[in-house]
Structure 1
Amino acid sequence: MMKRMFAGSTLLAALLVMAGCSLAPTYEKPDTSAPTAFKELAPAWKDGSWKTAQPSEEMTRGEWWTIFNDAALNALEQQALDANQDLKAATARVGEARALNQSARAGMFPNIDAGVGATRQKTSAASLGLPSGTNVAPQTLYRAQVGFSYEVDLFGRVASTVDAAKADTQRSEALFRSVQLALQADVAANYFALRELDAEAEVLTQAVDLREQAWQLMQVRFKEGAIGELDLSRAEAELETARSEAMTVSRLRAVSEHSLAVLLGKSPAEFSMAPNPLQPVSLRIPPGLPSSLLERRPDIAAAERAMAATNARVGVAKSAFFPSLTLTGSMGAESSSFGDLFKAGTRTFLLGPLAGTALSLPLFDGGQRKGELARVRAQYEEDVAKYRQHVLTAFREVEDNLSELRILEQQTAVQAKAGQASSKASHLAQLQYDEGAVTYLEVIDAERSALQTRRAAVQLQGSQAAATVNLVRALGGGWDGSTL
């Protein structure tokens, strides 16, 4: 008997020593082929006007939009952070992940419960060693007891579950920052789009005014017989065309304003913004080294944490092939009378098998555990592929916006020359028409070309502003110190 107890105690001691041994594979971030420098970075931009990680002490970290030095944009960004519904949903998802993490950590501690109750039972004569046929009276027992159970983490199942939940929480927090950055960028992009439309509206308003004056002058000259009806009709057609184009811009502006209102967490009826034509945005943003992009992009951080969580779940799936050890027991008081329940002599205790342990060894499950392990391993490989794809996409987005800004800078200079030339051509055409050297059709063509070049210049300014915002977004924001 003593030998069996010694052997059982030795086995229990050995299992306890093994407690906490994790079966999860050693986690390492997969290698990514990060280039040494961005291909599309113009040499002149290497000493840009924006420094990425040196905000002033009074500035809230993460407020990258302040580089535009626009008070209206600053106010809109704050409104969006306070009221946007997508951001609130992301915040709730972070709270959910943190709660799940707390639930997983509870597995590291014993479960203790207490209860009071009564049972009615009849014991057999044989179990009491009495002769067959002896009548044993039924009895009522009252019990008050405290019970506990604790899973000894022999092969790291609990620890791996906690690691997975922790990584899931970190992933959720990174996804929150990704939603936050996307919201900030969308607000800035919509704001600059709205101002670009204001600038286009200003150009078209001036064009309408000039063409209305020209049409009125043509009416006078027509009445005097200086011109024919064809020139008068052409002047009227150009006037109405300009008015139509102005209405198109007005329609687009209304839609853009409605989109901005929703980003701010408001209905379109609650929001309006006074016209404010866009001024050129010529910031040069140094993107830093490509390797730093992997640390700054929240979506990449989220993809990496997803890998870590799945890696931990591989350990959980492996632990299912090995024994599990649960310690159980209860203690309290037991009496046939409720009034005597808490008196001396009513104390009782109960321990599970194997001196308070329940050792479970899986033998056969039809391949369920093997299938679960294969599934988790395949999911890990999927997460690795997704992570690498996120990295490649991030590099592409940065390169796209760098090339766009570099070419837009050159295109803006070329467009400015085209604008000067078209304005001069329009002026000369009008002078020559007044002298009778050219027809009014040539004046219309010159004016139309001048209007198109002015609108194209304004649209290029809008594209520059949008590309600047998109580059900041592709880089992961200015700096990241925001907390929930």
Structure 2
Amino acid sequence: MRATGLLALAATLAACAGPRTSPPGAAAVVPPPAWRTALGPGQPIRADWWQAFGDPVLTGLVDRALADNDDLAIAVARIEQARATARVARAQRTPETSLGVPTSEARTLDAFANPYTAFGVSPEVSVSYDLDLFGRLRASSAAARAQALASVGARDAVRLAVASAVATGYIGLRALDLRLEVARQTLAARGEALRIARRRAETGYTSNLELRQAEGEYHATEQLVPQAQLAITRAEDSLNLLIGSVPGPIPRGLPLDRLQPPPVPDGLPADLLRRRPDLYQAEQNLVAADRSLDAARAALLPDVSLTGSVGVLFSTILANPIGVFSLGGSVLAPVFDGGRRRAQADASAAARDQAAFAYRRAAIAAFRDVDDALAGVQRSGQQAVALTGQRDALAAALRNASNRYRAGYSGYIDQLDAQRGLLSAQLALVQATADRLDAYVALYQALGGGWSAADVTATRR
């Protein structure tokens, strides 16, 4: 992946750079049409990827979060807002038609100085149309459409982050459950050691020093239980917030050591990074900034529009209605505005440069995320193997120390050191196992939604 796939994606990103008419110093990063998410925006999160862990509870929690998470609801509302804005911008390119029915009433005198009242009604239809000769409205409409697509990418990024957060939270919860189990098992062993130390001290076989040491170690282990229980409660509350539920217990599935992540294929194609919604969002933001710049430049040119109206005048003083119509055009050219339009164009050019650099930064960040996740999968796995060996060795050492202590061949301090070492190794192994699973989840998120054999085959073509 790091030797071939990342280089391939780097070449693709380099191809995105190209000349463009921009002010001096503008960034020349233009995404080609081929740079799109492979699945397109709005695709569902892969459920089969979570099923690869073999825990239906985890899959169910992810599904609930994708259906009920409040952040996702907010992102969906933002999409509707952006689409409505795009419709407003598109409507500005169509003729505007209005209907008016003005009425009038007048009191006057006739030739004989007799007062009378005259009524009049003049229904009128007016049409106005901006010719948009220089593309100002077209550019504004294209910018609004790109912003709507960017909001879709933002929604997909939230969905991906929510699914990953649920998986990470569930893995952390199962790790805390295992830590609590280790603490309780160790507490039971320390309780047995304390019972033996108390009996030996009461019979005068040993001094009270060993008894006090055993009591101290028992209470040191005892405080680990409520500590783990508190962490479990907080982890459950965090998961409930993600799935849009009130605080309460979270169902459990497989234990931590039985969760099996999907294997990472050899030579995972870097083109899978194109599915990342944050890259799609950055691309559409760049497109929107380009079109906004075009609109700002078109605002410096004359604005040509046509207007017309047709109507009929009905009045009590007319024997027959009178038809009226008007047709005209206008050319509005900026002469002096204190540099406002020029400043707006410069601001749009600077915003476009920011979007270009943000797009490039998002692509580089994608490299880093994948590289970090792959390294995490590999190194945390190696650490877990080493810690497993250490735990097994310390467990054997504890058995030997306990047998020697009970037989009177060694002091209590040897057994105490072995107990401390074994507890530290067990807790470190639990953390390393959770870190390894978290690295798989991070790789899933970094690749924009996991991978499958079909994905790998499709991207290699």
Alignment TM-score, normalising by the size of structure 1: 0.79
Aligned to 2:130: 151
Residue 65 of structure 2 is aligned to residue 80 of structure 1: yes
Offset, 1:31: 6.8
Aligned to 1:310: 289
* Residue segments in structure 1 that go unaligned for 5+ positions in a row: 1-23, 33-51, 54-58, 123-136
Aligned-partner Cα distance in 2 for 1:197–1:276? 13
Offset, 1:235: 1.3
Letter in 1 for 2:212: S
Structure 1 residues 143 and 161, CA gap change in structure 2 (3 angstroms): same
Structure 1 residues 201 and 222, CA gap change in structure 2 (3 angstroms): same
- The secondary structure found in structure 2 opposite 1:288 is coil
- The secondary structure found in structure 2 opposite 1:94 is helix
Offset, 1:461: 0.7
Letter in 1 for 2:417: D
Residue 396 of structure 2 is aligned to residue 412 of structure 1: no
Aligned to 1:160: 139
- The secondary structure found in structure 2 opposite 1:194 is helix
Aligned to 1:193: 172
Aligned-partner Cα distance in 2 for 1:330–1:60? 51
Q: Is the 8 A contact 1:329 1:349 kept in 2?
A: no
Q: Is the 8 A contact 2:118 2:316 kept in 1?
A: no
Aligned to 2:257: 279
Structure 1 residues 385 and 138, CA gap change in structure 2 (3 angstroms): farther
Residue 83 of structure 2 is aligned to residue 98 of structure 1: yes
Aligned to 1:351: 326
- The secondary structure found in structure 2 opposite 1:68 is coil
Aligned-partner Cα distance in 1 for 2:30–2:314? 67
RMSD: 2.8
Offset, 1:455: 1.3
Aligned-partner Cα distance in 2 for 1:150–1:243? 80
Residue 455 of structure 2 is aligned to residue 456 of structure 1: no
The number of residues matched between the two structures is: 410
* Residue segments in structure 2 that go unaligned for 5+ positions in a row: 1-19, 32-37, 108-115, 453-461
Aligned to 2:303: 324
Residue 46 of structure 2 is aligned to residue 62 of structure 1: yes
Offset, 1:171: 0.2
Aligned-partner Cα distance in 2 for 1:77–1:332? 62
Question: For residues 10-159 of structure 1, what are the structure 2 equivalents within 5 Å?
Answer: 30=29, 62-63=46-47, 64-119=49-104, 141-159=120-138
Deviations 1:265-285 (CA, angstroms, capped at 9, x unpaired): 1221x4443586312545333
Q: Is the 8 A contact 2:444 2:451 kept in 1?
A: no
Q: Is the 8 A contact 2:57 2:251 kept in 1?
A: no
Letter in 1 for 2:396: K
Aligned to 1:256: 235
Q: Is the 8 A contact 1:397 1:474 kept in 2?
A: yes
Question: What percent of counterpart residues are identical?
Answer: 30
Structure 1 residues 383 and 359, CA gap change in structure 2 (3 angstroms): same
Aligned to 1:39: none
Task: Give the counterpart of 1:176 among 155, 159, 167.
Answer: 155
Residue 207 of structure 2 is aligned to residue 222 of structure 1: no
Letter in 1 for 2:257: Q
Task: Give the counterpart of 1:211 among 184, 190, 203.
Answer: 190
Aligned-partner Cα distance in 2 for 1:453–1:423? 10
Aligned to 2:5: none
Aligned-partner Cα distance in 2 for 1:349–1:237? 103
Aligned to 2:112: none
Structure 1 residues 228 and 378, CA gap change in structure 2 (3 angstroms): same
Q: Is the 8 A contact 1:114 1:147 kept in 2?
A: yes
Task: Give the counterpart of 1:391 among 354, 357, 363.
Answer: 363
Q: Is the 8 A contact 2:272 2:447 kept in 1?
A: no
Deviations 1:239-279 (CA, angstroms, capped at 9, x unpaired): 111111122111111111111111111221x4443586312
- The secondary structure found in structure 1 opposite 2:102 is strand
Structure with larger Rg: 1
Q: Is the 8 A contact 2:62 2:166 kept in 1?
A: yes
More divergent stretch after superposition (360-369 vs 418-427): 360-369
Letter in 1 for 2:325: L
- The secondary structure found in structure 2 opposite 1:279 is helix
Task: Give the counterpart of 2:395 among 423, 440, 449.
Answer: 423
Q: Is the 8 A contact 1:199 1:276 kept in 2?
A: no
Deviations 1:307-359 (CA, angstroms, capped at 9, x unpaired): 10010111111111222121211112112239x8xxx9425233243xxx222
Q: Is the 8 A contact 2:50 2:59 kept in 1?
A: yes
Q: Is the 8 A contact 1:352 1:358 kept in 2?
A: no
- The secondary structure found in structure 2 opposite 1:334 is strand
Offset, 1:143: 1.0
- The secondary structure found in structure 2 opposite 1:141 is strand
Q: Is the 8 A contact 2:96 2:127 kept in 1?
A: yes
Aligned-partner Cα distance in 2 for 1:376–1:479? 39
Deviations 1:83-129 (CA, angstroms, capped at 9, x unpaired): 1111100010001001111111112211112121214689xxxxxxx
Structure 1 residues 119 and 323, CA gap change in structure 2 (3 angstroms): farther
More divergent stretch after superposition (431-440 vs 445-454): 431-440
Offset, 1:373: 0.8
Deviations 1:398-428 (CA, angstroms, capped at 9, x unpaired): 1111111111111111111111111111111
Aligned-partner Cα distance in 1 for 2:81–2:69? 19
